[in-house]
Structure 1
Amino acid sequence: MGCAISGSGLTPRTAESRNTEDEAPARLTPDHIQLIKESWKVIQEDIAKVGIIMFVRLFETHPECKDVFFLFRDVEDLERLRTSRELRAHGLRVMSFIEKSVARLDQLERLEALARELGKSHFRYNAPPKYYGYVGAEFICAVRPVLKDRWTSELEQAWKTLFQYVTGIMKDGYLEEEQSKRNHTLTSSKERPDKRNTAI
């Protein structure tokens, strides 16, 4: 699907699969992949903590994101969020997705399929693509202190590129599901007989 690893790096999606308002496709180099894998070994030791920090920061910096989360929509107290079992569980699900993404960096077709399905499920949860980029930024803020002196500008660029890649595919999946739903609705409405033309 336009994904290939070569000596010059990886170009994740074909130009045809992107919307025109998207920026250029993400390019993960073999060096990026190596940096991400090495840093993940450290990050995963604090996986639950990072997940909570990431979402508390997300809700703090982008409170409109809470509208997508039914359980957290009316919670104003950040301390209550930090101790929420539901937030911890959701944070762990997101961190598990990141872990699976890292594990599939050498199997890009599998990574693309995973991200596309996640995008489709986000359509069903009514979580639009405009929020996806925020998660990557908050992930980076959450892991920087965990990695301490291991954090470099090259590592930051590697993670940013991975998130750009994954969220781009998620957006494609979201839009595919939205189009599929629209087509299904149109087909269903055409199949229903028009009661006004039915003889009495």
Structure 2
Amino acid sequence: MGCAISGLGLTPRQVTESRGEEEHLTEEQIDMIKVSWKVIQEDIAKVGIIMFVRLFETHPECKDVFFLFRDVEDLERLRTSKELRAHGLRVMSFIEKSVARLDQLERLDMLAVELGKSHYRYNAPPKYYGYVGTEFICAVRPILKEKWTPELEKAWKTLFQYITRLMRQGYLEEEGTKRTHALVPTKERPDKKNTAL
């Protein structure tokens, strides 16, 4: 069950860190993503399941991040898992929110950074984020059929690279905050009870 792009172009190491060097979505790419999303939405649950089953097939180490799926070896059982369906829908909901915010990048930035922060709390490191974009693209290509073009693929890749970079930023910010907090002796930490003036 291979995909020609599996592992290509979306790993966080390959995403540039500097805002000045990163690739931005053009208006045409944003329009292409929005139009294709309308078709993808019709099979949103199916895409979420396919995406995660493929993720666990191609990168079995990713299962370690998911407590509920860590010990599941039977991929057929995963396909029918209510928990996997629910998680797939949450991820697809995030993608939907991202597409809706393509014209409001500040809001998209905040959304992706917050998601990265929450992934720190879930102990889901950035090295896995890019895989999701790759598997999403592999899952939606057959759904879009002849509507799938190299230009559309490039647009989705660019969006996922952008989101991945911001999620990584959020993860690292949260990690830094937790490390700093851990270094401050308990006596010096602000006591929430005694902060009133």
Shared fold by TM > 0.5? yes
Q: Deviations over 1:90-112 (max 9, x none)?
A: 00000000000000000100000
| Partner in structure 2 of residue 125 of structure 1 | 122
Distance 2:20 2:60 in 1: 26
2:131 to 134, 142, 162: 134
Amino acid in the other structure paired with 2:161: Q
Q: CA deviation at 1:190?
A: 7.1
| Partner in structure 1 of residue 164 of structure 2 | 167
Distance 1:49 1:34 in 2: 23
Q: Output the TM-score relative to the length of structure 1.
A: 0.84
Q: Is the 8 A contact 1:26 1:162 kept in 2?
A: no
Q: Output the TM-score relative to the length of structure 2.
A: 0.85
Q: RMSD of the alignment, in Å?
A: 1.9
Distance 2:16 2:41 in 1: 33
2:82 to 82, 85, 99: 85
Query: Structure 2: where are the runs of 5+ without partners?
Result: 1-14, 190-197
Identical aligned residues as a percent = 78
Matched, 1:105 2:67: no
Q: CA deviation at 1:24?
A: 3.7
Q: CA deviation at 1:182?
A: 0.4
Q: Is the 8 A contact 2:16 2:22 kept in 1?
A: no
Q: Which structure has the bigger radius of gyration?
A: 1
Matched, 1:62 2:59: yes
Q: What is the SS of the residue equivalent to 2:165?
A: helix
Give the total of aligned pairs: 175
Q: Looking at both structures, which has the greater relative contact order when contacts are Cα pairs under 8 Å and sequence separation is at least 6? A: 2
Following superposition, which runs of at least 4 residues in structure 1 exceed 2 angstroms of deviation? 18-24, 188-192
1:146 to 131, 138, 143: 143
Change (3 A) 1:90 1:185: same
| Partner in structure 2 of residue 31 of structure 1 | 28
Q: CA deviation at 1:21?
A: 9.3
